[in-house]
Structure 1
């Protein structure tokens, strides 16, 4: 019995598998040979122009290199995942893992891509340009397969093997992409930037634990956020290449959004007015000027996000929330790690922006999850400070 069947209940009749294989023209490019191998490797048979994938205690799976370039690349990606898992799959299991990864890629290009942003231009970038980048950078391919697997796990929650597959691809993506981040160039900047965005979305889409606080953990700033903020600092040296590259329209819109945040406004939104009230409350209770200035900076960046969202709401709830995460002072995040009462109150206002993502599968539930934790951590006095955010975002009852 295959690994997928044993561990995850991923079962189908032989006839059904044959129908799927034929639909993807799988038999056109593959054939099996009963040759034993000692380890998971790949080798090329120059005479027959074949690539042979094999695993411990299993037969070779021979793939014709005359297959389309995309097929060969996806086979390499699957082989990476097999090696990462440290398993000993049978030839039948390898076939099914190959099919599974092709399913993930197809799902990303036909479904997941449309869920990442609602702007049609940006959707086209996710549907066409990002997969093209993935065939140049394997860490991007592993990233989109990981996210697609979580999407399918959301759509089909009983099939938990999607989550385990997502974790394998995500770990490979983190390992390979993370090593390149300090070495960003004009050639790889687009791949690394989309990689950091994929990691951020993957974090939001991953199954939550009760104690998850998104931006910080017990030891400090969350690793995904450190990487996300660091990437966007490094990429400043490659802005021209990014704007002229495959992600150009996304970054041009982002720059316009930054400019919009700096515009003066004659009619502040309710969120801006309530943030001003919060600022005065903090001023009355925080005698230390340094700490107060950190809070003021965090509130001001959040005010700009509320203002920009109020001026032009279409497609930008997620953008304005993530922009605050990127621009908020690092010292504020450390205060949030320590669960300082004032930092938690500011974070509650952030949850109002985050709630705009509640209709998206990968953002669903985060605003309520965080607001519930904030409410539990605050004392009675400071709970009164967040009466407006609590009205906007429901709290889970015990």
Structure 2
């Protein structure tokens, strides 16, 4: 027999007691509901999330050091950060947490493999040049970590061009490595010496490649921009600064041969129709319209540009960067006037774009010629645009 509770004993209950009991019961019930509402656990809402998940517009669980999505896809997550106890060096010559201890960095293995088997071969038209870039990972990259990071950034951009469906992912990886390297390179460039000149010389070249590979951007036209001097031009001129400030003998064995090297000729390209006549007329126009202060610099710019044409289409010079020797040899005053969008430097820059167009066989130069030509056309006053008709027609760009 079930035992009765002592609370169930029969006792007389008055009407007033009954009403009080009902009221107390309702009060307790309401308190229970209120208590339930107050103590109910709410779900976490957050607008945070790693960059990769935001880019792909998927929910991020925000697990650190790697969110679940990045871990599953084996890509670097924003939440990965170096331990606060790890000492770092801005020069990039010490282990500053690039690698997570005890973890297999699949993305970096992928980038290393792709650099050595594919990307390095796109940096030169010659097998010997490709071998030079391939060996730099060991010769320089392992000593100067900003070189290694820029190699990874450039390789990630190469993968982005090869795998458009994963472009956002690889672009994010490239940005992380590029930003990490830039501060170290800038510091070493300002404090260049015998021990770091090799690494800086390679890195400033890689920065130029990375900026090409990032694809054309509105307002950035390599040698000039709508918002001040371009980052690309600063680093491109940095190569000249290094070579002028240091004797070739001060470079270590990995770089001195490259500085002295005479490259093999490229395959002969088709000579642009009528370029000699065009340069004759261009020289006369520049001579007639230049002011006394700029006359000699402008004529020199025309002569050097014509020399670049003759060397390229005559088969004498033979590497990708020979096309850019014109910008390399220009004086700072001329480049400053180009930055200020002076008509004559812009006209000459449009003729330089014809040489640049020949480089579009490299994946990282795709689209740059037409982009630069569009910037020149927009910057030139209408009365000067007739002087860029020939380069426009030669590269196949049509004004809007």
Q: Deviations over 1:15-52 (max 9, x none)?
A: xx99999xxxxxxxxxxxxxxxx9741779xxxxxxxx
Q: Normalization by structure 2: what TM-score?
A: 0.71
More deviation, 196-205/379-388: 379-388
Across the two proteins, how many residue pairs are aligned to each other? Answer: 324
Distance 1:182 1:255, change over 3 A: farther
* Stretch deviating more after TM superposition (383-392 or 2-11): 2-11
1:139-154 correspondence runs (5 A): 139-154=146-161
Alignment equivalent of 2:117, drawn from 110, 113, 117: 110
- SS of the residue aligned with 1:158? helix
Greater displacement, 138-147 / 329-338: 329-338
Corresponding residue for 2:254? 246
Which residue is equivalent to 1:229? 237
8 A contact 1:355–1:367 mirrored in 2: yes
**In 1, Cα distance between the equivalents of 2:139 and 2:389?**
47
Q: Which residue of 1 aligns with 2:43?
A: none
Report how far residue 283 of structure 1 moved.
2.1
Output the TM-score relative to the length of structure 1: 0.71
Look up the match of 2:293.
290
Rounded Cα–Cα distance in structure 2 between residues aligned with 1:19 and 1:395: 41
Q: Which of residues 159, 165, 177 in structure 2 aligns to 1:158?
A: 165
Deviation at 1:215? 1.3
Give the one of 91, 102, 123 matched to 2:130: 123
* 8 Å contact from structure 2 (residues 205, 239) kept in 1: no
State the superposition RMSD in angstroms: 3.5
User: Partners in 1 of 2:57 and 2:174 — Cα distance?
Assistant: 15
Is contact 1:4-1:161 (8 Å) kept? no
Q: Is the 8 A contact 1:321 1:354 kept in 2?
A: yes
Q: Are 1:345 and 2:366 an aligned pair?
A: no
**Equivalent-residue separation in structure 2 for 1:132 and 1:179 (angstroms):** 21
Partners of 2:312 and 2:318 within 8 A in 1: no
**Per-residue deviation at 1:148?**
0.7
Equivalent residue number for residue 279 of structure 1:
283
Q: Which runs of 5+ in 1 are unaligned?
A: 22-37, 45-71, 80-90, 258-267
Q: Is 2:98 the counterpart of 1:77?
A: yes
Q: How does 1:1-398 map to 2 (within 5 A)?
A: 3=50, 6-9=53-56, 40-41=82-83, 76-78=97-99, 98-159=105-166, 160-218=168-226, 220-236=228-244, 237-242=246-251, 245-253=253-261, 270-286=274-290, 288-312=291-315, 315-316=318-319, 318-396=320-398, 398=400
Q: Pick the structure with greater CA Rg.
A: 2
The alpha-carbon distance between structure 1 residues 163 and 78, as it changes in their structure 2 partners (threshold 3 A), is farther
List runs of 5+ in structure 2 lacking aligned partners. 1-48, 59-67, 87-93, 266-271
Superimposed CA distance per residue, residues 305-338 of structure 1 (whole angstroms, 9 cap, x where no aligned partner)? 112212326743x322221121112222222222
Structure 1 runs (4+) greater than 6 angstroms displaced: 17-21
Q: 1:3 to 1:106 in 2, by over 3 A?
A: farther
Distance 2:261 2:164 in 1: 35
Q: Distance in 2 between matches of 1:39 and 1:255?
A: 43
Bigger share in strand: 1
Tell me the residue number matched to 2:38.
none
Q: CA-to-partner distance for each residue in 1:365-388, whole Å, 9 max, x for gaps?
A: 111111122233334442222232
In structure 2, what is the Cα distance between the partners aligned to 1:384 and 1:377?
Answer: 13
Counterpart CA distance in 2 for 1:375 and 1:5 is 37
Between 185-194 and 346-355, report the one with greater CA deviation. Answer: 185-194
Of stretches 108-117 and 339-348 in structure 1, the one that deviates more from structure 2 is: 339-348
Change (3 A) 1:109 1:378: same
